[in-house]
Amino acid sequence: MTVTSHTLHAADALLPTGWARDVRLQWDATGRLTDVAPGTACPPGTPRAAGPLLPGMPNLHSHAFQRAFAGLTEYRGAAQDSFWSWRTLMYRFAGAVTPQQLEAIATGLYVEMLEAGYTSVCEFHYIHHGIDGKPYADDATLSQALLRAAARTGIGLTLLPVLYQTAGFGGLPPNEGQRRFIRSTDNMLALLERLAPLCSAQGARLGLAPHSLRAVPPESLREAVAGLHALDAQAPVHIHIAEQTGEVEACLAWSGQRPVQWLLDHAPVDARWCLVHATHMTPDEYQRAARTGAVAGLCPTTEANLGDGIFDTQAWRAAGGRWGVGSDSHATVNAAEELQMLEYGQRLTTRQRNLIASADHPAVATAMTLEAVAGGAQASARAVAGLAVGQQADWVVLDANDPLLQGLPGAEAMLSAHVFASHRRSAIADVWVAGQPRVRTGRHDLHDEALSGLATARRQLLTDTP
Ligand SMILES: [Zn+2]
């Protein structure tokens, strides 16, 4: 479905500066906004949005294959269950997934993401090799499965191939469960060169994800980041950091420093970086990390699901830190729910309310949406920073006729209800990416086919993995 008019009117739209009335949006054939004009009359016959227009949310952290076992780790296995027992099942799936299954899972997942308000995604992609651990004849086989899934569903993509070399701090050799992840630094740089034209051919962005300090030794981290930036000086770098207290303790034992402290002292962290989780930081680390301009990649529902801990959003924002949200393990796939969980975590720890608001935007859902879109766009290194000229024409239209939103006093109250009171995606009418409607009246064109493909792949994996 291709639209040719390239104009849409919205009675209310959330621009980077805040809510505006009677906004006319225009975009070009490449899907870039060329005009965003508040206070413009809507001539009869011009397409009109069915409700308030929100900027599309970039999903800054995803491991697509993990959607296939969401819901399967919610029982007590050991006396004290933890992140590490969840990782055992994750490794079973990671060890078994085929290229066809990965493509089917990602296609289903990306349809779910679009229907839930995400218009682009950063794939932190770490399964590279065949099931036996040997490289595929085409080394980019699994990356291409993700590129095809993104192209088919229409979601924007930042592809972040993961560098993974060791099983722990101090160069611990990788274990059997990690056989599909392992690459030398040179081999990773060769993969990036192979992927660069494939990504740019479909408007995807290419970056690099050193998995974590426990999986990438210092010399490799230095060489890989330098090699990436020699290829593309603005390419994004994402790293898992300080997600678990066990990781903090192991890093202290190895180096005498905490993970964020070590990273800031040994890597050129700046605005191109996304620090994924960064859950366990000292007050000094919050200050120092925020000052680098890096984005904190927060994944509130996954962090809750895995029992990671709670990021101190107040300390981060007070230090000027930027942030965005990701659905990470995909226990939940819903942009509004990530925002709700983020704010609720802060309320539960501080026993206060309405914390992630700002002087300009006292309504929490408005402030959070704008900050998460800006941070998510920065981490994606794509022009997806909201409803402004030069940015991609990505947006979400709330359904003003949804029973949940009807009769509310204005667009801001509708967004608040969408984030804090709704049964989520039901309040979303349409989702557009690069000036094309990908979701209409709540459904993606590929909804049935893509979700049944995901279910089939999951069934196969459950049968094949003992
Ligand atoms: Zn992750």
Q: Which of 308, 312, 328, 399 is catalytic?
A: 328
Q: What pLDDT does residue 392 have?
A: 98
329 CA to middle of ligand 1, Å? 7
What's this model's pTM, rounded to 2 decimal places?
A: 0.97
30 vs 73, more confident: 30
Q: Which of 63, 125, 277, 418 is catalytic?
A: 277
430 pLDDT more than 50: yes
Answer for the pair 339, 325: CB distance below 8 angstroms, yes or no. Answer: yes
Q: What pLDDT does residue 151 have?
A: 98
The single-letter DSSP state of residue 328 is B
Give Cα 261 distance to the centre of its chain: 24
The CB-based long-range contact list for 138-145 (8 Å cut-off, 24+ gap) reads 139/187, 139/190, 139/191, 139/194, 140/191, 140/194, 140/195, 140/198, 141/99, 142/99, 142/102, 143/191, 143/195, 143/198, 144/198, 145/99, 145/100, 145/102, 145/103, 145/106
Q: What pLDDT does residue 79 have?
A: 63
Percent of the chain with pLDDT strictly greater than 90: 90
* pLDDT tens-place string over residues 298-326: 999 999 998 999 999 999 999 999 999 99
What span, in angstroms and rounded, lies between the C-alpha atoms of 70 and 65? 10
61 CA to middle of ligand 1, Å? 6
2 vs 126, more confident: 126
241 CA to middle of ligand 1, Å? 10
What span, in angstroms and rounded, lies between the C-alpha atoms of 90 and 331? 12
118 CA to middle of ligand 1, Å? 17
What span, in angstroms and rounded, lies between the C-alpha atoms of 319 and 327? 25
- Report the pLDDT averaged over residues 87-114: 94
What span, in angstroms and rounded, lies between the C-alpha atoms of 189 and 3? 39
Q: Is 407 left (phi over 0), alpha (psi -120 to 50) or beta?
A: left
Catalytic residue list contains 229? no
What span, in angstroms and rounded, lies between the C-alpha atoms of 142 and 135? 10
What span, in angstroms and rounded, lies between the C-alpha atoms of 131 and 380? 30
* pLDDT tens-place string over residues 260-290: 999 999 999 999 999 999 999 999 999 999 9
85 CA to middle of ligand 1, Å? 15
117 CA to middle of ligand 1, Å? 20
What span, in angstroms and rounded, lies between the C-alpha atoms of 458 and 437? 29
What span, in angstroms and rounded, lies between the C-alpha atoms of 424 and 340? 11
What span, in angstroms and rounded, lies between the C-alpha atoms of 288 and 294? 10
2 CA to middle of ligand 1, Å? 34
Q: Which of 86, 113, 23 is nearest to 330 (CA)?
A: 113
Q: What pLDDT does residue 1 have?
A: 46
Catalytic residue list contains 63? no
Q: What pLDDT does residue 217 have?
A: 98
Q: What pLDDT does residue 69 have?
A: 87
User: Counting beta carbons within 10 angstroms of the beta carbon of residue 125, is it exposed (0 to 12), middle (13 to 18) or buried (19 or more)?
Assistant: buried
Q: Which of 54, 74, 25 is nearest to 412 (CA)?
A: 54
210 pLDDT more than 80: yes
End-to-end CA distance of the chain: 42
User: Counting beta carbons within 10 angstroms of the beta carbon of residue 2, is it exposed (0 to 12), middle (13 to 18) or buried (19 or more)?
Assistant: exposed
* pLDDT tens-place string over residues 400-410: 999 999 999 99
